[in-house]
Structure formats: C-alpha cells, structure tokens
Structure 1
Amino acid sequence: MCSIFGVLDIKTDAGELRKKALELSRLMRHRGPDWSGVYACDKAILAHERLSIVDVNAGAQPLYNAAKTHALAVNGEIYNHQALRAEYGDRYAFQTGSDCEVILALYQEKGPDFLDDLQGMFAFALYDSEKDAYLIGRDHIGIIPLYMGHDEHGNFYVASEMKALVPVCRTIKEFPAGSYLWSKDGEIREYYQRDWFDYDAVKDNVTDKNELRQALEESVKSHLMSDVPYGVLLSGGLDSSVISAITKKYAARRVEDQEKSEAWWPQLHSFAVGLEGAPDLKAAQEVANHLGTVHHEIHFTVQEGLDAIRDVIYHIETYDVTTIRASTPMYLMSRKIKAMGIKMVLSGEGSDEVFGGYLYFHKAPNAKELHEETVRKLQALHMFDCARANKAMSAWGVEARVPFLDKKFLDVAMRINPQDKMCGNGKMEKHVLRECFESYLPASVAWRQKEQFSDGVGYSWIDTLKEVAAEQISDRQLETASFRFRTTRLPRKKRICTVRFSKSCSRYRARPNAFLAALPSHALQQKRLSGTNLSKK
C-alpha cells in the first residue's frame, strides 16, 4: 500500500508549497515506508510514499512518460497491466515494470476517458504539463481511499488520508468511488456504470455456478501478482476460507509468467487473530490444516485492544463504533504480519455485500429488495469494510487485496438471479457461494454460521467495550454531548461517547475542530449500534 499527496491549481508560491507537501506526505509514510518521491513545478506538486510490491527496484514514483511531460502518482494495483502492456506496447514506450505505468499509456492513447479499462484497486493523480491539466481517479468501489480539499488561497489538494489535509484544508471531502476529475471539464464524472445496478436487468438471468466459481478463481489468481512475500487472512469463516483455498491452489507457481516458473515463496502463510479461545481461531486452524498452509495464530488481550483504540481511530479516521471495534484486532494483527516479513495479504471483504451474507438478509421480503440492498451496500462499502481493511493494514505497511470486489467478478456475481441469493426456508445466507466451493473446504466451515469479525475474535472483546463505556461515560456527559461535538448526528450511546472522547485528536491540538469536521458524517450513525442487529450496516 502506498500514499499520494497532490497540490494542484496552484495559486501561491510553489516553492513553499513543495516544502509543505513533503511535510504533510510524511504523515502517511506508514502506508509506504520503502521510498519517497516528489514531482514539483509551478503548477503542480505530486508526492508519493511507496510500499514496493511489484517491480521493487525500478517502480519508484512518481512515474513519467518518456518525454517527462506526464507525471503520475498512484496508490494501488492494476491487475490487468500485462494485457494492457501487450495492447499498447507498440504505441507507448514503457519506462518501468510497474503495473501502474499502464495508466500513462492509456492516458496518452485515450485522454481522460479510460478508467473503466483498468481492473484493480487504485487512486491516482496525473499531471500533464503540456496541457497544464490534471486527472484524478479512484477505483470502481473505493477500495483505495482518497480525499480532497481546498485551502484558504484556493489551492486544490488530494491525499490518501484525511490527516494529511487537516492542517491546510478548510473543508475535506471524500473523492467519490468509481469517478474521475478532469481539470479541463472541472466536473467529477462517474465512470463506473453497470446494468446490474437495476434489478430489472438481472431478474430473469440464469445462475451459472460454474461461471461464478471460475470468475472468483480468476480474480484470486490475478491478485497474486507480487515480487515480495504474501499471505492470506484466515478467520475460519466462509469468505476468508474460500479465498485461502483458491490462493493455495495457485500459490506454487508465478502468475506473472502464466505459471511457467515456480513461485519465489511457494509456501502459503495464513494469519488469524483473536483472544485466547476465540471461535475464529479454532475454525481457522481447521481450515489451515485442511489446506496445508503455514498458519500463524496472533493473540491479543482485551487490554491490548483497549490500549490500541486511540491509534486505531487515528489511522482509520472514523468514529464509527462498529468499524473501530472490528479494526482493532486487524490493526494489531497487521503489526505482527509485517514483523514476519509479509507485505501483502488477501482478504475476504465484500462477499457479504455481494451475496447477502448478513443475517438480516433473512428478512428480505423478495428478490428485488434483496438485490437493491446488495447494490446499496456495495456502493457504501468504501465507508466501512474497505476503509477498515485498507487503513488497519496500511497502518503498519501491509497491503490488503480483496478479490471479492474485483470488477470482473462483480459483473458475474451481481448478474446471477437474485432469487438464488434469497435465504430462509432451509437455505443459509450465501448458499450459492457455499455450494460453489463446498468441495474446497471442510463441511463444518463451508456451512459455518455467519459471525461478525469482531465477534469471531472473541465475544469478551465487545462485552468489555460496553463495560468500559458504561464506566467512563456518565449520564451527564451523554446528555451534554451536543455541546462538545458540533455535528448534526449526536452520540446517543455511551460506546460512541467513549470513542468520541478519545484523545486521538491530540495530534491536531492546533485545529481539533477541523479534524472532527473532517471525519465522515456516517461515523455517527446510531442505527448501526442496535443491539439486536449489530451486523447490519
């Protein structure tokens, strides 16, 4: 995982802005500790902090075309870069082996209208000095974070994390997923449009389980491109187990050369996190034994989790309680994974949104409403599970890849007949996915009941959070929260006040209110704390 920081539409002294850009980019160096780079001219500044995974020696950023007229800073991975290189190699002179350089080739060929050609996860800023124009883009789901804002002089900023914008920007907004901004138009345009957004386009489709199985295998295989050691996150639930099983199937050969040579690190490592005796740990060990991975159990105590919450809020950049409580074990696990020399992991985020995996989907009255809810949840995923997986792992310089959110796979999975995703009447949630991959897994795992990640790591984790909140936040503090937190959505539960009273903002003492205002408004959605339906987001 990397980070980008850009200053565009420069209206003040570029020399001073360059110094400031380097200072603010350093706030995100945890995302990319391997190398730093910067492009600067009177009109644009692009800074980059690199986590080297593909083309380790020559892939430093910013990237340039041969004439040095186009500069590019990218956070992400382009999984179809080899196909794009083959297509455009006779018309564009590639300077590196970086997967991200295909963005420059596509821009040279098509101008700004190319983002739907990319298969991957990404956020990028491109500056064209010949046209004095810039292009900002983000992947289809918003797997990779990106934020934007203006300072008091009108300079335009983009950054991978909000913390880099808070010191300079009056207001901060999330750059929309599936969109791009071309400065010559001055408008953010949505490029990611699919027929399956509409129920009528899929309601009569015939579900092909073989096609679904093949699509996910191809997705996982494409996500294995790496020149550094990688692993899988294995909770023992269905989603991570399926991803781990497919990864194990292809881990012995290098996907970069169409499996012609042996993998540089052929033994697959799997990682599970939890309190002692947690349900996830037992299930994960069973799957690891079945698959033959080198398995690592990472234990944490409730106190270690509580001690980490302030840092988790700092890195995840949200006060959303459900996200924070699930991010904390992942944050602690990421540190251990990095210490073992692993830079990239595959994870199972997105499956519940695609297949209707949350328990409340049992209440779907019909296939139409189920499908519309899956679409809605996918379109909101960038605020929750994507942010958690990306930022909790990148806090320690580890990249999380999510094959269930691959663009090609989504086009298959979201076009199956929604009726076949309905649960109830003897059918478990995600039964289509279970049927496709039951032969890959132990039956006890293939048909394991859905657990929330934060439940599966140990039930006492959530119980203790509730107890601490009750002890630390008085009824009076809860009643007067409106005077301290100037937001439209006020804390109504002590668990939220505990998070909001955290001193994680102390790093921004000069402008604490600016940091509060920068955090996404969705972080205060109280309905997500319902004790009867904690899995619903």
Structure 2
Amino acid sequence: MCGIAGLFHCGTPKPVDPTRIERMCNVMAHRGPDGSGVWTAPGVGLGHRRLSIIDLAGSPQPMHSPDGRAAIVFNGEIYNYRELRRELAAEGIQFRTDGDTEVILAAWQRWGVNCLHRLNGMFAFALYDFSSRSLLLARDRLGVKPLFTAQLADGSLAFASELKGLLAHPLLRREVDPLAVEDYLTWGYVPDNRSILKGIEKLPAGHYQLLRHDAPPASPQQWWDISFADRRRGNERDLEAELLHHLREAVTSRMVADVPLGAFLSGGVDSSAVVALMAEAQQAPVRTCSIGFDVAAVDETSYAAQIAELFGTMHQARQVGSDQFDAVETLVEMFDEPFADASALPTWRVCQLARETVTVALSGDGADEAFAGYRRQVFHAHEEKARSLLPAPVRRGLLGGLGSVWPKADWAPRPLRFKSTLLSLAGSGAQGYARGLSAAPPEVRLQLYSPDFARRLGGYRGEQPLIELMSRAPARSGLDRAQYADLKFWLPGDILTKVDRTSMSVSLEAREPLLDHRLIEFAATLPDNMRVRGKQGKYLLKRAMRRYLPDDILYRPKQGFVTPIAQWLRGPLAEQTRAVGASNILAQTGWFDGAAIGRLAESHISGRSDNSRLLWQLLMLDRSLQRLEITG
C-alpha cells in the first residue's frame, strides 16, 4: 500500500520539476513511510511513497521494466501476481524482483490495456510507456484505491492518491464546486462523480485513462462493470457450496504478506466470517482487534469477544470514551474533502489499535452491498412490491400528498415514522431509494440554502446521479438496482473512502476479501430470494456461515459501527453546534441561511428533534473549508 503522484503534459512535453512531485508525495508520507522515489523525463514525472508489504527489500518505485521501455508507480496489491508471474515467465519474460509491481509492467507489455482484466486486486497506478509516449492511469474494479486528477493551467495533468497531494501543487486552483456542496449535503460525502473543488476529478472505479503527449486529455474509459442481468441456477445447497468456495478463495488470497497480518473484528456477521475463514486457513492464531464505546447502546465488544474466544484469536480490545469529539480536526485533515460519516472515528481508532501489532488487516467491508445486508435494501425490496400494486399517479397523488403533511416524528418508535415511507412510495423505485439513502431530503436542504445559492444550483439535486445510475443499471429487479447503486455509488464514495483514509493515516494496509470481484460477480447472479428472505438480508451468506458461526451472531439485529454524535451535539459540542449557523466561514460563502441553521441546532439541542446527522455535516463542512482556505 502506498501513495502515488505525478505530472503529465498532454501536448508539448515540457520539463517537469522533480521538487514539485516530491512535495506532492511528501504530504502523503503517511501512506508510505518506508521509502520514496521520484523520476522525471520530458513531459512526465512519477512519484511514490512506499509502505512495504511484499518483497520488503526489493521493488523500489518508480520502477522501470527490464528493457527500460516502461515505468510505473503503483498503490495497492495484486493478489494473483504469482500466478501471472508464472504465466509470463513461461513465455520467456524474466523478472528481477519478487513483488507484484514488476508483474504489472510485464502484463502491460504483454497484453496492453487488456492486462487490467487479468489483475485480481486493489490498485491505482500510473504507467508510462516510452514507445507510445503515453501514460495509463488505472483504478481497480470497485474503487478500493483512490486516484485524483486535475488539469493545470500550464497544460499538464496532475494526479495523486489523495486530494492533499494535488493541493501541494502551486498551480492548483481552489474554487468550490457548488454542485459538490449540494452533493455533500445530500449524502454526507462528495461522491466519486465530483470533487469539492472545480477542475478536480476522481478516476471512476473500474476505469482507465490513456493520455498521450500528442493529443488532448482523453476521457476515462470503463473496463469493468458489475451486472445483475443474469440469474444463477441451482438448488440452495449447490449455491451455498459455490459461495463458500468463493469466500475461501477471497480470504486466503488476501493473507499473503511479508509483514504481520490480522483482522478487524466487530462481532458482526461479515468480520466474523472473515476471521472464521482465516482461522481455518492457518495454524497460528489470528490476530484480531475491536473498538468499543462507553455508551452501551453502540458497543459491540462483547460479540467480538465471543468470536475471538470461539476461534482462539490473539484479541485486542479497547474502549474509547464518548468524549472523542476532540478528534474532529484530525478527521478533517485526514479526508481533505468534507466527510460526515461519523463511523470514520471508530474506524480510525480500530486502525490505530491494529497498527500496534500488524501492518495488514482484513476487514468485512463489502458483504452488505453484495448480498443485500442493509435494512434499506430489504425495505426497498418490499416497497417495490407495494409500488407494483398501485399505479404511479395514485401513488404520487395519494401517498405523496399524505406524506407531505405527515409530521416528522423523530421521537416516535420506528413503526410510527411514516413520513419517509409515504414520500418514498410516492416516487419511482429509484427516487424512493435515493430519498431513503440520502442524509437530508431536498426540501430540508432547500430550507438551509440562501436564495442566491439555490439559484446557482440551477435546479440540480444531489439525488440525480444515483437515480440515473439505477435507471440504467444492468438489472432485473428493484433489489438489483439498489445493490448496483450501492456498489457503484455508496461503496467507493463513502465506505471505501473511509477505510482508505483512516487506515492509511496510520500506515496500515486494509484489505477487503468480501470485495473480491469473483465473489461480487457470483453474488450479483443470485436470485432475489437467495439475498433477501422475509425481513432478513444476506440470506445465503448467513446460511453458508452457519457451520462456523452461532445464530446469535448471524441473526441478531444489524447495528453498524456508530458514534454517539447526537449525544455529543446536545452535550459537550452544544456550543459548537449553535456556532455553526453563525460561523464566519459558512457566512462568508453566502450559501446558507444562518438563522435556519440556528433553528435546526436549537431544535436538536432541546431534544425536540434529531438533527444530528445534518448538523454534523455542517460542522465538518465548516472545518473542511477552513482547512482548504476557502470562503466561497
């Protein structure tokens, strides 16, 4: 795992200053504390920060091919590199190192862009080919590893693993994209189709970009997509056996490392499944770690301890206080863009704990997206059945009208909170899912915007990209479309961003075996009833893991990795909550109605409503704009 950065001139190959690339890399030193390197040639420069995982003494980067015709900087891991190396060696290709970086170089020279389909792993890399005078930027299938790009005023294209790498370049403009603010208020993060700053893009997951000196920048091209269009045939027992095969392959392939390796263990289904399969695959005890809070309602450490005892792991657990709000500034620096997923805090803490004993940690991320483990996916599957019973005009008129006047009862038991359900059912399946997934519905966001900012949006709503994504999904059912959106939009924008930044901030490599593309592709072919059965999601996965895990782990209500934000904003952060509406930074932007934010804050502090998610978003936006030195 590493950090990469570089510059490429699309046009006249101007000289590249190596000190600029060095500065871009050095601000990402946390991603690679074990080594660094910079290489430049007319019109191109590559920089690298290394976290040594495989071939510790070899594989320095930037790396050149043995014939000197290609150079690469690479962030990630290729889990099948040994198989590829044997195949390439059988064709006469000789290798000088024992790592996976040189295998990518050889694969490019043998197969060109098609080499991407051969790679099983997580990666973002930049590969310069001298003979074609081209630069290949590529990102893995699901977007585990990030890559930011920006077109600069001097005609060069800059790229880096994190936004801070681009911010280190003196020619980068710092102007906020208003559409990104709307996106952020909608989702709690800036999705991969946009960046908080104008002119900066994120190479989409499963895409590559091929740049040439003699041509303007080419658009990214998709090289992989997930399809829900086909259905796997077979009885439940056969599907369960096939699933277990994919799970074992995914876990064992990610256990290859020349450094200490362990796993995150929350006590939920997914991390417990990963630990169970790791324990099956090795004789030595698995190293595991978990984090708990001193608020009983959000603490899961007892379940983690149960799994640790069951599999005899070397377990570390640590409880953090509910007063961890002092880490806000650290989180802001970690993410660069505003990021309001409050689970980033415990994720960072568990990464810190893991790094005390291991350099690589396996996580359970990805199973909810692939196997329909989120409550919202289960609800959506049932809502789609309800939609099919009523014509769209009836739903829009009757349910939409009723939902618009139904009170927002945050204080009421969940079954009595009908407002969101009524409004969701009034729209299409995609519109309803977008509403349910969003952090704040459009009518609430519009109340916070100033009239001028609302006009600047030109009618754009943050839900639109997700709705469009679902409408063109290669899918057969509403459940398919919801999962497709989660895999393509939510997963790279929120979950994988969170894990990448928090783990890399402490120089820890996180690996996600449940995001093995072969496993994901298999899961997408399962019939709906193998994913959702009644009120249960992840049906087949839970059935497959019953031979390993007890029912009280498999079938207990899903809790998630949460933080007591609502309590913080009513208690120790109450004054900061009140101050958000009067913030100098937010006020100078002219984007918001300060009085409306003030009313939102007072309603939350008094306990009349739970506005914690939206207030946390505003607080993190305020801090992020301060760090980016932007006022509008």
Q: CA deviation at 1:84?
A: 0.6
DSSP-derived class of the 2:30 partner: coil
Deviations 1:249-274 (CA, angstroms, capped at 9, x unpaired): 1133xxxxxxxxxxxxx331101012
> What runs of 5+ residues in structure 1 fail to find an aligned partner?
253-265, 517-537
Which residue pairs with 2:114 in the alignment?
Answer: 113
| Matched residue, 1:310 | 329
1:270 and 2:288 matched: yes
2-structure distance, mates of 1:387, 1:444: 31
Cα gap change, 1:489 to 1:286, in 2 (>3 Å): farther
Report whether the alignment pairs 1:371 with 2:492: no
Query: How many residue pairs were aligned?
Result: 484
Which of 507, 511, 529 is the equivalent residue of 1:419? 529
Distance 1:473 1:484 in 2: 18
Task: Give 1:114 shift.
Answer: 2.0
Q: Contact (CA 8 Å) 1:234, 1:284: kept in 2 or not?
A: yes
- Distance change in 2, residues 1:123/1:488 (3 Å): farther
Find the counterpart in structure 1 of residue 537 from structure 2: 429
> Structure 1 residues 209, 471: CA separation in 2 closer, same or farther (over 3 Å shift)?
same
Query: TM-score scaled by structure 1?
Result: 0.84
Change (3 A) 1:485 1:295: farther
Asked if 1:464 is matched to 2:568, the reply is yes
Q: C-alpha distance in 1, partners of 2:549/2:593?
A: 44
Residue deviations 1:424-447 (CA, integer Å, cap 9, x gap):
2xx422122111001211221122
Following superposition, the deviation at residue 508 of structure 1 comes to: 4.4
Structure 2 residue aligned with 1:62: 62
Assess, with a 3 A threshold, how the Cα gap between structure 1 residues 466 and 51 changes in structure 2: closer, same or farther: farther
Aligned counterpart for 1:182 among listed residues 199, 210, 224: 210
Match of 2:231 among 199, 202, 211: 202
**Residue 558 of structure 2, aligned match among 433, 450, 462:** 450
C-alpha distance 267-476 of structure 1, shift in aligned 2 (>3 A): closer
Q: Is the contact between residue 38 and residue 47 of structure 1 (CA under 8 Å) also seen in structure 2? A: yes
Residue in 2 aligned with 1:30?
A: 30
Deviation at 1:339, TM superposition (A): 2.7
1:242 is matched with: 273
Matched, 1:215 2:254: no
CA contact under 8 A between 2:228 and 2:525: conserved in structure 1? no
Choose 1 or 2 for highest CA Rg: 2
Amino acid at match of 2:231: V
Paired residue type of 2:288? S
Q: Which residue of 1 aligns with 2:343?
A: 326
State the AA in 1 paired with 2:18: R
**Cα offset for 1:87?**
0.9
| Letter in structure 1 aligned against 2:317 | E
What displacement does 1:485 show? Answer: 4.3
Distance in 2 of aligned mates of 1:466 and 1:383: 29
Deviates more, 1:428-437 or 1:328-337: 328-337
TM-score by length of 2: 0.72
Counterpart position of 2:188: none
Q: Is the 8 A contact 1:270 1:288 kept in 2?
A: yes
Hey, what does 2:375 align to over in structure 1?
A: 359
Q: Which residue of 2 aligns with 1:501?
A: 622
Closer/same/farther in 2, CA of residues 231 and 489 from structure 1, 3 Å limit: farther
Equivalent positions of 1:273-284 (< 5 A) are 273-276=291-294, 277=296, 279-284=299-304
Bigger shift: 468-477 or 145-154? 468-477
CA–CA distance in structure 2, aligned partners of residues 317 and 357 of structure 1: 30
**1:437–1:69 CA distance, 2 compared to 1 (3 A):** same
- State the distance in 2 between where 1:346 and 1:362 align: 27
Cα distance, 1:478 vs structure 2: 6.8
Report the AA paired with residue 221 of structure 1.
T
Aligned-pair CA distance for 1:371: 1.3
Kindly indicate whether residue 361 of structure 2 is the aligned counterpart of residue 345 of structure 1.
Answer: yes
Deviation (angstroms), 1:137: 0.2
Q: CA deviation at 1:91?
A: 3.3
SS of the aligned residue for 1:187 comes to coil
**Structure-2 separation of matches of 1:356 and 1:489:** 38
- CA–CA distance in structure 2, aligned partners of residues 39 and 232 of structure 1: 35
From the superposition, tell whether residues 507 and 479 of structure 1 become closer, same or farther in structure 2 (CA, over 3 Å): closer
Change in CA separation of 1:318 and 1:438 when aligned onto 2, cut-off 3 Å: farther
Give unpaired runs (5+ residues) of structure 2: 174-198, 386-475, 601-613
* One-letter identity of the residue aligned with 1:271: C
Alignment root-mean-square deviation, CA: 2.5
- CA distance, structure 1, for counterparts of residue 225 and residue 483 of structure 2: 16
- Amino acid across the alignment from 2:46: L
Conserved 8 A contact 1:478-1:494: no
Aligned to 2:399: none
User: 1:48-87 CA deviation, whole Å, 9 max, x = no partner?
Assistant: 0001001111022122211222111000000111111111
1:223-234 matched pairs, under 5 angstroms? 223-234=254-265
Aligned partners of 2:64 and 2:245: how far apart in 1? Answer: 36
1:394-450 deviations in whole A, cap 9, x for unaligned?
Answer: 1000011001111111111111112321242xx422122111001211221122211
Name the CA distance, whole Å, in 2 between partners of 1:98 and 1:480: 51
Instruction: Give the counterpart letter for 2:560 in structure 1.
Output: Q
* Correspondence for 1:300: 320
Distance 1:462 1:143, change over 3 A: farther
> CA distance change for structure 1 residues 395 and 480 in 2, over 3 Å: closer, same or farther?
closer
Q: How far off is 1:202 after superposition?
A: 2.4
Segments of 4+ in structure 1 off by > 6 A?
Answer: 478-482, 486-492
How far does the alpha carbon of each residue in 1:204-224 deviate from its partner, in whole angstroms, 9 at most, with x for none?
A: 776511101110111000011
AA matched with 2:224: Y
Task: Determine the structure 2 residue equivalent to 1:474.
Answer: 578
After superposition, the Cα gap between the structure-2 partners of 1:56 and 1:480, relative to the gap in structure 1 and judged at 3 Å, is closer
Deviates more, 1:150-159 or 1:308-317: 308-317
Please say if residues 345 and 398 of structure 1, whose CA atoms lie closer than 8 Å, have aligned partners that are also in contact: yes
Q: Residues of 2 paired with 1:391 and 1:57: CA distance?
A: 26
- Taking the aligned partners of 1:156 and 1:235, their CA distance within structure 2 comes to 41
Shift of 1:109: 0.8
In 2, are the aligned partners of 1:7 and 1:157 still within 8 Å (CA)?
yes
With over 3 angstroms needed to count, the CA separation of the structure-2 counterparts of 1:43 and 1:356, relative to structure 1, is: same
Matched-pair contact (CA < 8 Å) for 1:469–1:495:
no
Q: Structure 1 residue 92: deviation in Å?
A: 2.1
CA distance in 1, matches of 2:480, 2:225: 16
Rounded Cα–Cα distance in structure 2 between residues aligned with 1:23 and 1:507: 18
Spell out, residue by residue over 1:320-348, the C-alpha distance to the aligned partner (whole angstroms, 9 max, x if none): 32x2x1111111222232233x1100001
- After superposition, the C-alpha distances for 1:258-304 in whole angstroms (9 at most, x for unaligned) are xxxxxxxx33110101213553111100000001001000221222x
Task: Give CA deviations for 1:80-132 in whole Å, capped at 9, x if unaligned.
Answer: 11111111113322221111222111111122232111110000000112221
What is the match of residue 92 of structure 2?
Answer: 91
Aligned equivalents of 1:371, 1:116: Cα separation in 2: 24
Match of 1:128 in 2: 129
After superposition, the Cα gap between the structure-2 partners of 1:43 and 1:478, relative to the gap in structure 1 and judged at 3 Å, is same
Q: Secondary structure at the match of 1:474?
A: helix
What is the aligned partner in structure 2 of residue 528 from structure 1?
none
